[in-house]
Chain A
Amino acid sequence: MSTVDALPEAPTTSASHPGWLGEVVHDIVHRPVMLVGLGVWVAFIIMAIGGQHLAPYAIDAQDIAHRLQGPSHAHLLGTDELGRDLLSRLMVGTRYALAVAIPAVAIALVVGVTVGMLAGFFGGVVDRVVVTLLDSVQAFPAVILALTLLALVGHSLRNETLVISVAFIPSYARVTRALVMAAKNNQWVDAERSLGARPLRIVVVHILPNIAASLFVLMAMDIPSAITISAGLDFLGLGLQPPTPSWGGILSSGFYYVEQSPWPVIWASVFLVIATLGFTLLAEGLRDVIDPRLSR
């Protein structure tokens, strides 16, 4: 019943309004911090795809005579305890870092969103069961959970990926559930129901696109976390095993020999830090650009 004319505020755009993609791109280009993050992403993806082909040395080429040396002309970053080129191993290690982190987050997204949608849309018993399950999983700190599960199912790339994704599923499920519950209250959901649309259609065709933006931001922020967790697991020897050149693995053996040469530890850490920082910068930039629109 109210039609008060509000005082004009700064005009804003609505996240749900299509055409926002173009504006997002424009905003990205104007934020140097995000461009840095984007650059890191591009560089790492190239490294991951190129893998061995881009690396100067074979990752298993040993050169015991020149083991544990610092940076030199021959080996830009130095060598590890078996004389293998650090740069090559770390570059290929990118592949493993991303091969665990990205699928882990992707699986968490798919499973979490599905579960969250069911809980949010149907409510009632379904919701209660789902929430209880989520609570149980979230009660464990992510790393402890991952450790425990890995100890149970054994070490492998696939298992490490699955275990990390389990740790992330609850956050996607909860966010989706909350967004779906909020979206359900919109009149256009009522309108679709009154037209005879089935719940599945409403959720997939109508609700999902409206919450995709939020989920996208979440994903971008989780990837650096996943990288860190997987590095931790590899470091503890619970994930990928040597001679696989994972960053965590390189760090781990590097620690063992740190008094003789600090370089493996240093460079592995540098790669980890750049990856995490770069991806986080991009994700936070995305969130800054997308989220103000969401709060309209």
Chain B
Amino acid sequence: MEMHPAPVLSIQNLKVHFGSVRAVDGIDMDIVKGEVMGLVGESGSGKTTIGRAIIGLTAVTEGSIEFGGRDITRLGGHERRTLRRRMQMIFQDPYSSLSPRMRVSRLLAEPYTIHRIAKSDRRSATELLETVGLSHDLAGKYPHELSGGQARRVGIARALALSPDLVVADEPTAGLDASASASALNLMKSLRDTLGLTYLIITHNLNVLGYVADQISVMYLGKIVEVGPVGAIFDRPAHPYSIGLLSSIPEVGQRGLIGRKFVPRGEMPSPSDPPSGCRFHPRCQLAKPKCSEVEPALEAIEQQHVAACHFWQEARAIAESAREEPSSKLATTSQGDLQPPNREAVP
């Protein structure tokens, strides 16, 4: 068995409850240094709450978050602030996370000003802008004068100012055009390579994770239902919800990998009143009596791949066989790509 490097972030039994709303109800997660962990879920799953709890914007009801060798939920003000400098967040809306009355140069100096970093240890606005591929001309502009893509990059630059170990990105492509979104993802990838960053990317868009993530955690109604390397999740998903997610993704030029019939019926119930037993059972096509009685724990499927389902073998088998018969109205090649048309030039 290979040795795992010590995780940068280790979450144990995290619960975040807002009164009766159990947004996060007992999750574990380990993020290893240098990896991109993707957290995917739909609205109401609690994924944004996890991000906020890690960064410290939302109070934790129960559980521990270990970072830098300490449990940050137990630390007091000054220590916590110092430790939290090493993790930064990139927020969902590229504009509204930038204080509207501050110019870019001042926004980029904020992290240093707040922590009273000596001038000699600061990186200039120009330098930070360069890191994210923006010209120094932007230093004098206000957020509303920037394009969506530029604003996003400024947010990334600001997050990098304190040289964090961990970057939590909440929907990094939201609110951006296709090409701005693409360049933001390219940037994040290259920063990971050049700066050795570790990422937690929170998103509802599995395609983004398919492109950039190393590990994926699938979240449903406050719980993590499956974790595994990106290849395992995409090619050999074991939890019916993950299978459902994969079959729902519209992917350009390819019909759903598994087929329409796995799309989960109905909608996610409210987190204040989760179903008994397995939380997914009301929407699951494989549900059996046991599912409504006993909540499944995360079981090992294969190396580093776990899923919380009593009948994952069955789910997997059905998914496999469905994969063999793509239900598509467009002609496809054997790899599932769209068949290119026969084209002749007009004479």
* B91 CB–A CB distance under 8 Å: yes
The answer on a CB contact under 8 Å between A1 and B110 is: no
The answer on a CB contact under 8 Å between A209 and B101 is: yes
Q: How far is the CB of A113 from the nearest CB of chain B, in Å? A: 17
* B261 CB–A CB distance under 8 Å: no
In chain B, positions 164-218 with a C-beta closer than 8 Å to chain A are 174-175, 177, 204
* B288 CB–A CB distance under 8 Å: no
Report the number of A-B residue pairs with Cβ-Cβ less than 8 Å: 69
Q: Which of B9-17, B81-89, B118-126, B322-330 contacts A (4 or more CB under 8 A)?
A: B81-89
The answer on a CB contact under 8 Å between B101 and A187 is: no
The answer on a CB contact under 8 Å between A188 and B144 is: no
The answer on a CB contact under 8 Å between A196 and B99 is: no
In chain B, positions 119-158 with a C-beta closer than 8 Å to chain A are 142, 144, 155, 158
The answer on a CB contact under 8 Å between A16 and B101 is: yes
The answer on a CB contact under 8 Å between B96 and A187 is: yes
The answer on a CB contact under 8 Å between A18 and B101 is: yes
Residue of B nearest to A19 (CB): B142
Tell me whether A195 and B111 are in contact in the complex, defined as CB-CB below 8 angstroms, given that A187-B97, A188-B100, A210-B101 are known contacts. Answer: yes
Tell me whether A16 and B91 are in contact in the complex, defined as CB-CB below 8 angstroms, given that A195-B110, A197-B114, A201-B114 are known contacts. Answer: no
Q: B residues within 8 A CB of A201?
A: 114
The answer on a CB contact under 8 Å between B96 and A196 is: no
Q: How far is the CB of A9 from the nearest CB of chain B, in Å? A: 16
* A186 CB–B CB distance under 8 Å: yes
Q: How far is the CB of B141 from the nearest CB of chain A, in Å? A: 11
* B265 CB–A CB distance under 8 Å: no
Q: How far is the CB of A112 from the nearest CB of chain B, in Å? A: 22
Instruction: Return the CB mask of B54-98 against A: 1 if under 8 Å, else 0.
Output: 011100000000000000000000000100110011011100111
Interface size on A, residues (CB 8 A): 23
Tell me whether A210 and B100 are in contact in the complex, defined as CB-CB below 8 angstroms, given that A17-B144, A194-B57 are known contacts. Answer: yes
Instruction: Return the CB mask of A192-205 against B: 1 if under 8 Å, else 0.
Output: 11111110010000
Q: B residues within 8 A CB of A17?
A: 100-101, 142, 144
Instruction: Return the CB mask of A17-35 against B: 1 if under 8 Å, else 0.
Output: 1110000000000000000
Point out residues on B near A: beta carbons under 8 Å: 52, 55-57, 81, 84-85, 88-89, 91-93, 96-102, 110-111, 114-115, 142, 144, 155, 158, 174-175, 177, 204
Point out residues on A near B: beta carbons under 8 Å: 1, 3, 14, 16-19, 186-188, 190-198, 201, 206, 209-210
User: 15 A-B Cβ contacts within 8 A?
Assistant: A1-B204, A188-B97, A190-B52, A190-B91, A191-B91, A191-B99, A194-B84, A196-B114, A196-B115, A198-B114, A206-B99, A206-B101, A209-B101, A210-B100, A210-B101
- Could you list 11 further interchain pairs (A-B, Cβ under 8 angstroms) beyond the known A191-B97, A195-B111, A210-B100? A17-B144, A187-B91, A188-B99, A191-B99, A193-B56, A194-B84, A195-B114, A196-B81, A196-B114, A197-B110, A210-B101
